[in-house]
Each structure stands twice: as C-alpha cells, then as structure tokens.
Amino acid sequence: QVQLVESGGGLVQPGRSLRLSCTVSVFNLDYYAVGWFRQVPGNEREGISCISSSDGPTTYADSLKGRFTISRDNAKKVVYLQMNNLKSEDTAVYYCAADRVDCLQLRDNADFATWGQGTQVTVSS
C-alpha cells in the first residue's frame, strides 16, 4: 500500500523560498510518477507539477514555470517541490499524489489514486 506524507509547509514572506517534501512509503518509488497539486478553499485542486518515474519527463503548470522545480530522490523515497520567489497567490494547501502514470503532460486529480494529507503554505508579510 502506497502512503504519502507532505512536509515543509509554513508561513513565509513574499519573495522568499520554500521546499516541500513528499515522503512516499512504497517498496520501490522508481515505478511511480508523483504529482504536486494545490488547493485554495472554494477552488478546485489544481495541478502544479508532475515528475515521471525514473528518467522520465517532468511537467509544470505554465504559470509556475521558472519559479517551481520538482525533483526526486528515489533512494530516499522523497519527491521535492522547490518554490522560489513566492507570492501571496501561492498561498494554498499543497498535496502530493502518486500513481503509475507518465508525466508527458500535467496530470489531473483523477489520474492519481493515492494522496497525502496536505501541507499548508501561507505567503504573507
């Protein structure tokens, strides 16, 4: 059974950086793609980024390209989301999700079967 736990959220000032971690409890993370999503109360959960299984492609929401970077460490079973130059509109609950899909394109919520509980990111001065 695959389980995911997000960490690294918190309160940060605009313009600063934050790195989120998604720790995946699975026998072998190599076979799984992991996606990052975020949700603001009252809005739908939106896809941010997706990283394929080993050596596969990564994708990003167009609006976040250049500020957010996804990476993975399969040995540690962790997927990271580096967020730079944070803005107030980045305030949301951030979720990671895993499944055996590809990341040739940004994935929807329905493409992932297993989700973490989320971590709050608040960008405010």
pLDDT for res 65: 87
pLDDT for res 1: 86
Distance CA 52, CA 6 (A): 18
Asked if residue 55 has pLDDT above 90, the reply is: no
Q: CA of 80: how far to CAs of 8, 9, 125, in Å?
A: 10, 12, 25
pLDDT for res 78: 97
pLDDT for res 105: 86
Distance CA 111, CA 5 (A): 18
pLDDT digits (tens, 9 = 90+) for 83-104: 999 999 999 999 999 999 889 8
Asked if residue 54 has pLDDT above 80, the reply is: no
pLDDT for res 27: 87
pLDDT digits (tens, 9 = 90+) for 11-46: 999 999 999 999 999 988 999 999 999 999 999 999
pLDDT digits (tens, 9 = 90+) for 98-121: 999 889 888 888 899 999 999 999
Residue corresponding to tokens 């989301």: 81
